[in-house]
Amino acid sequence: MNKLVYFLFCLTLFSIGCESKNHSYKPNSSIEILDPAALSLINPDAKQQILAEGFDWTEGPLWVEDLNALLLTDIPKNAIYKVTKNGELNLYLNPSGYTGDQARGGEVGANGLILNSKGFLVLCQHGDRRMAQMTSDVDNPKPEFLTLADNYQGKRLNSPNDAVYDWLGNLYFTDPPYGLEFNMDDPKKELDFQGIYCLKTDGELVLLDSISRPNGITFSPDQSKLLVANSDPQQAVWYHYDIVEPGVVTNKQLFFDATEWVGKEGFFGLPDGMKMHSSGNLFATGPGGVWIFDPIGKPLARILTGEATSNCALSPDEKTLFMTADNYVLELELK
């Protein structure tokens, strides 16, 4: 083997190694520590790495152990993608949120993704305006769906956005207007409010509350409280409720108000998707990126992505945070 051939061979091996193990760092990103308590969760010098990029608008990150990969939605493309930890990207499902024959505009794809207790993928389908379950196994995806909920008291839902199951199998979800082609002014909008719902195991759909733009939703670790993000630039806040029993909440309180941060330089985005850490600290997307709150709503840190950040997900061991930020999928190692 002459020197040139040997050099090219080594260069090829090096390139393959870089593609499989290394990702580039996200420019214009940083971590801001607001309280020393954050240091138990995050290293202030940790770098946000680009796991995948080139999408239209990313949402719904969900780590699936059976796939050993992250699923995410690209809402305008009406598609779900699968990306591995080494950055291998593949189309997973299309269509994902709109299965109609008539072409339409707007945010048609699926938004939030979760797994039910049997391991089936459950989707917040913007275009079809329903909560739906993919009927095939997660390792054999097909665009075939079972409707879980598509109307409230005979009126079609707006466009389910995010969802979470409780331990008993009751499904809580939010229903803003973002998936309607003309948003709040869409002539096909049938409900005159934007609801927070509970689909109980007996099939009853219960309206818990209505706020201007309900979005991300999750529980406290003991499921005694329900937390909901409001992605309204005029009222960019998070609320929490006491859960009395499945489908019944009370004592609505303000968790945190970030309205003053909306529109500040570099602080793109609004309260959106969120995930609860087992410690009781909340990772919540909001103006600037991902905010970390303690259990009573005190900001501990901000993960500034430099992009409007829609949602986040934790790996099962809680050592990795995945973030969907505009056309990026980012990952950040946690402590």
Q: Decide: 159 and 215 in contact? Cβ < 8 Å.
A: no
CB-side neighbour CA atoms (13 Å) of 311: 26
Which ranges in 22-140 belong to alpha helices (H)?
Answer: none
Reported as a single tens digit per residue, the pLDDT across 149-172 is 999 999 999 999 999 999 999 999
Q: What is the pLDDT of residues 222-240, one digit of tens each?
A: 999 999 999 999 999 999 9
Q: Is the pLDDT of residue 1 over 70?
A: no
**Could you tell me if residue 244 is left (phi over 0), alpha (psi between -120 and 50 degrees) or otherwise beta?**
alpha
pLDDT at 2: 45
Q: Is 296 helix (H, G, I), strand (E, B) or coil?
A: coil
Q: What is the pLDDT of residue 229?
A: 99
| Phi, psi (degrees; rounded to nearest 5) at 4 | -65, -45
Euclidean distance between CA atoms 99 and 135, whole angstroms:
14
- Three-class SS of residue 127? coil
pLDDT at 36 over 90: yes
Domain boundaries, the chain: 24-333
* Main-chain phi, psi angles of 12, to 5 degrees: -65, -45
Q: Is 50 exceeded by the pLDDT of residue 4? A: no
What per-residue confidence (pLDDT) applies to 17? 33
Please report the pLDDT score of residue 22 as a whole number. Answer: 55
**What gap in Å lies between CA 114 and CA 123, rounded to an integer?**
7
Give the residue carrying structure tokens 């308590």: 37
Nearest to residue 82, comparing CAs of 122, 136, 91, 51?
A: 91
| pTM (predicted TM-score) | 0.93
Q: Does residue 18 have a pLDDT over 80?
A: no
Residues 61, 64, 67, 68, CA torsion sign: positive
pLDDT in tens, 206-217: 999 999 999 999
Q: Which CATH superfamily is domain 24-333 in?
A: TolB, C-terminal domain (2.120.10.30)
What 8-state DSSP symbol labels residue 319?
-
Helix (H) or strand (E) holding 9: helix 3-21
